Amino acid sequence: MSPSLKSLIDNIRSVINESDWQTFDAALESLSKTIKQKDLERICLEQSIFQEAFEFESTSRWNRGKWAAEKILEYTLPLHIEISDKLLRKSEVDQVKCILINNGIYKNVSSIDYVAENGSGNSQIIAAQYCSIKTLRSLKGHKSSKVRKVYFNRLGPVECLDEMLSDSIADIRYEGIARAPYDYKKLISLTREIARSPFSLLIKKIPLDYLPMLLANRNVKDRWVSNLFEQRISSGR
């Protein structure tokens, strides 16, 4: 570790641990004037160095280190915009990439596509909200349910309805059932739905001829669900 990098880490830790609410902004401005771009880049690239710089000494209070990291980086990264795209593509630090995307700190907007397609964690979820539709479609069937929720929210049920109805997450299936047309044929395949919320909605929307198939579902034992079932049967439609 170079002397200048060690000095920057010490200065950051001093700002975090020694300044209070009244003096933090002044300390931050003073810190920004001493930062060498290569040292800031190193801190933002490597998780271990980032953690060393932004570790808050007391464990008895809220995570001031995370808060301070956000404030410090929001202030200093725009002053070193030249490293922003490299950080989005190569940083090990999810928080850094979240800050860059949320604050529009980049020179090439296509870096958002890169994070959406190749990233992980919260930064990928954020990138998925802003990436191109082409990149968004490449996230079909993503292992992260949070990424899939963004995928479905942006593309919508007109394009993704059957995928939503088949998803492994109950919240997504619920949204699929909510957007499905009444008597939609795909709903017939959901008679074994185990989650109460989507099943309750299914009772209202499945074709009437297939409603008796739901009687074998354990959710019908629930009094509230059973009442919904009886109301649908009684309505005859």
Please tell me the predicted confidence (pLDDT) of residue 57. 57
Query: For residue range 89-106, what is the model confidence (pLDDT) as tens digits?
Result: 999 999 999 999 999 999
CB 173 within 8 A of CB 165: yes
104: left (phi over 0), alpha (psi -120 to 50) or beta: left
Please tell me the predicted confidence (pLDDT) of residue 60. 43
DSSP annotation string for 28-94 = HHHHHTT--HHHHHHHHH-HHHHHHHH--S-SSS--HHHHHHHHHHHHHGGGGGGGHHHHHHH-S-H
With CA atoms as reference, report the closest residue to 92 among 54, 119, 130. 119
Please tell me the predicted confidence (pLDDT) of residue 156. 97
What single DSSP character describes residue 97? H
pLDDT average, residue stretch 52-57: 78
CB 161 within 8 A of CB 176: yes
Pick the residue with more confidence: 59 or 77?
A: 77
Entry pTM: 0.88
